[in-house]
Amino acid sequence: MESIPLPIRFDHVSFDYGQRPVLTDISCSIAGHSVVAILGKSGSGKSTLLELINGIVRPVSGTVHLFDRPLDYQQIVMLRRKIGYGVQNTGLFPHLTVGENIGMPGVISGAAADTIHTRVTELLELVQLDRSHITKYPHALSGGEQQRVSLCRAMFSNPPILLMDEPFSSLDYSTKRHIYTHFQALQKASPRTVVLVTHDWEEAMLLADSFLWIDQTRLRASGDRAALSAVKDAYLQQL
């Protein structure tokens, strides 16, 4: 039987800022083509996990593995081309149109203009935004539309790994529900490994296949959706 790929693995990873520990002895694996929610209250080290995966920071001790190999910081630019990054408050450039924002990874990689345009329109269709949005600027979009555009940009290069740092936290409940639907459709149409940082237990329960709960710098609990359901009361109590 073919083994399940493990595109991300942490082996006894610790990280600190001087005298302040952020993550302590984290060991875990994330399976391919799955959505894992990184849960924890503010300041628990959730976002630092994403920064470690993306090579923005390096562990003080331990090893981060990508695609079954220790992270090679000499090749970090090439590795980042396999990683999409979606962040809170969208991170869209206000002086660029929607089309230019989404197509930026293509420009950076030197793709032809017609190739970029085709991919942009394909992604807009996937998240149910009209092609007329291509020429609009971010300020002309609703919060939900901006979030969908940010998701399109993160997925432009069809990365096998997608990192999402509380991308829905600033949206109202109704908009969130619409975005959740689009996210689920995208994952179904083009499965990838998604690492979703959130403090929202319900969001994790709805979107994730598995979870990692970081508490007081350590991995407190992990498992599938059933295990996540089992820790609901304990998790909500500590928020």
Q: What is the CATH number of the domain that holds 54?
A: 3.40.50.300
Reference 89, options 183, 186, 166, 178; nearest CA is: 166
Q: Is residue 1 part of a domain?
A: no
Reference 167, options 186, 158, 180, 185; nearest CA is: 180
Rounded-to-integer distance, Cα 52 and Cα 149, Å: 25
Beta bridge mates, 196: 37, 164
Identify whether residues 74 and 186 lie together within a single domain. yes
Phi-psi bin for 91: left (phi > 0), alpha (psi -120 to 50), beta? left
Identify the band that residue 186 occupies on the pLDDT scale cut at 50, 70 and 90: confident
* Containing structural domain, residue 135: 94-142+151-158
Rounded-to-integer distance, Cα 136 and Cα 134, Å: 6
Identify whether residues 13 and 77 lie together within a single domain. yes
Name the pairing type of β-strands 210-215 and 61-66: unpaired
Identify whether residues 180 and 225 lie together within a single domain. yes
When divided into structural domains, the chain yields a total of: 2
**pLDDT tens for residues 20-32?**
999 999 999 998 9
Identify whether residues 66 and 164 lie together within a single domain. yes
Rounded-to-integer distance, Cα 92 and Cα 89, Å: 8
Structure tokens at 183: 């996210």
pLDDT of residue 109: 87
Q: Is residue 2 part of a domain?
A: no
Q: What is the pTM of this model?
A: 0.87
Coil/strand/helix, residue 92: coil
Through-space distance between the first and last CA atoms of the chain, rounded to whole angstroms: 42
Coil/strand/helix, residue 177: helix
Identify whether residues 123 and 232 lie together within a single domain. no
Which ranges in 127-231 belong to alpha helices (H)? 143-155, 173-189, 201-207, 225-230
Q: Is residue 40 part of a domain?
A: yes
Reference 127, options 156, 157, 106, 169; nearest CA is: 156
Across 42-51, 81-90, 119-128, least confident range: 81-90
Identify whether residues 185 and 226 lie together within a single domain. yes
Domain final position from 129, 158, 187:
158
Instruction: For residues 14-22, give the mean pLDDT.
Output: 94
